[in-house]
Structure 1
Amino acid sequence: MNTAFRLFWMFLKIGLLSIGGGYAIIPLIQEQVVKRSGSISPKMFTDIITISQMTPGPLAVNTATFVGIQIGGIVGAVAATLGCVLCGVIICLFLHRFFQKHKESSYVFEVLKGLKSASLGLIISAAVTIISIAFWGTQALEIKNVISLMNWTALAVFSIMLLVLRKWKLNPVLVMLISGMAGLVLYL
């Protein structure tokens, strides 16, 4: 199957199932491109998520674009991005009409509450994945290896930047720039 079509189809399915936005879609993308197809390594995927967060635009679209470029070049990036957003656009148009018609329904309100809970679970899953790869270098972590595999430098940078964010309310962009410079100094 053509790489561009494969990327389009993969991200079309991901886009169809991505309820909850950017962070909720990360585990779906990871499942497809890291675990199932093996097209991208876990480390590369973490790097893609990091870059996607720093670039302007929605996280899911940026991630799809960067994954597409890694697997299929510019054509792959376009195919993955179109696949990622197409279902969302169609579903949004449908939902707009639906909610205009049923905006007073208590059943619709309860369904939305359930979807919020599912989205929260997906976001927590994405956070755990990113943290485990950043601090331990792997997603499949065993309890007995937690201390021995810990990247203490990454934990220190994370802790300091979290403290700076919480205590002095520094601009997050500035915190990312400082973290990136710390990474250059500490890891090169």
Structure 2
Amino acid sequence: MSLLIELYLTFLKIGAFAFGGGYAVLSLIEREIVTNKGWITLREFTDVIGISQMTPGPIAINAATFVGYKVGGPIGSFFATLGVVTVSFILISIASHYMAKFKESKVMKACLMGMRPALIGLIISAFLSLGKESYKDFKSVLVGIGVMGLLLSKKINPILVIVMAGAVGVIIF
């Protein structure tokens, strides 16, 4: 199978199960591109997440774009990005037609209520996996605690916090 088709199909699979947003899909992206395919290392994946956070757009799309570029250049970037958005585009096109009809459905509400805890589990799984790579020493733990403290106690823009953490990293590392 050509690399471009493999990129497309891998990110199509990721996009098909990207319910709950970018953070919920991080563990799936990691499993597919780091563990199963070996296209990037866990350290590179952590960097992709950081870059994806600092650039506009959904994290899954940004990650697909970056990984596609690394693996297959500009055309690889195109195919990976196309793959990750295909299912969402199709589902949103169909769902928008029927949204009003099923908006008050008890089955739909129950289904969404059941998925919420699973999505939190996926986010925690991604956090733990990325944490193993990111928290290598006491300084990294301090930066992480400082960022969490800022975000929980102040209404600081997360982008500003990322920039501040980068500046702190330049100073202490």
Q: Which TM-score band applies after superposition, normalised by the shorter structure?
A: over 0.9
Higher mean C-alpha displacement, 95-104 vs 120-129: 95-104
What is aligned with 1:94?
A: 94
Which residue identity does 2:47 align to in structure 1? D
TM-score by length of 1: 0.85
Query: What is aligned with 1:130?
Result: 130
Alignment correspondent of 2:112: 112
Q: Residues 10-63 of structure 1: CA distance to partner in whole angstroms, max 9, x if unpaired?
A: 101111111111011111111111111111111001110111011111111111
Judged with a 3 Å threshold, the aligned counterparts in structure 2 of structure 1 residues 169 and 17 are, in CA distance, closer, same or farther, namely: closer
Question: What are the within-5 Å matches in structure 2 for residues 1-188 of structure 1?
Answer: 1-136=1-136, 151-187=137-173
Name the larger-Rg structure. 1
Letter in 1 for 2:140: A
Q: Deviations over 1:39-96 (max 9, x none)?
A: 1111001110111011111111111111111111111111100000010110112222
State the percentage of identical aligned residues. Answer: 39
**Structure 2 Cα separation of the partners of residues 118 and 166 of structure 1:** 23
Which ranges in structure 2 are unaligned for 5 or more consecutive residues? Answer: none
Seen in structure 2, the aligned counterparts of structure 1 residues 169 and 79 have a Cα distance that, compared at 3 Å, is same
Task: Output the aligned Cα RMSD.
Answer: 1.5
SS at match of 1:39: coil
SS of 2:104's equivalent in the other structure is coil
* Larger deviation, residues 44-53 vs 113-122: 113-122
Which sections of structure 1, spanning at least 5 residues, go unmatched? 137-150
Number of equivalent positions:
173
Helix, strand or coil at the partner of 1:66? helix
Q: TM-score, normalised by structure 2?
A: 0.92
Partners of 1:102 and 1:169 lie apart in 2 by: 36
Deviation of the 1:106 alpha carbon: 1.1
Aligned residue type for 1:30: E
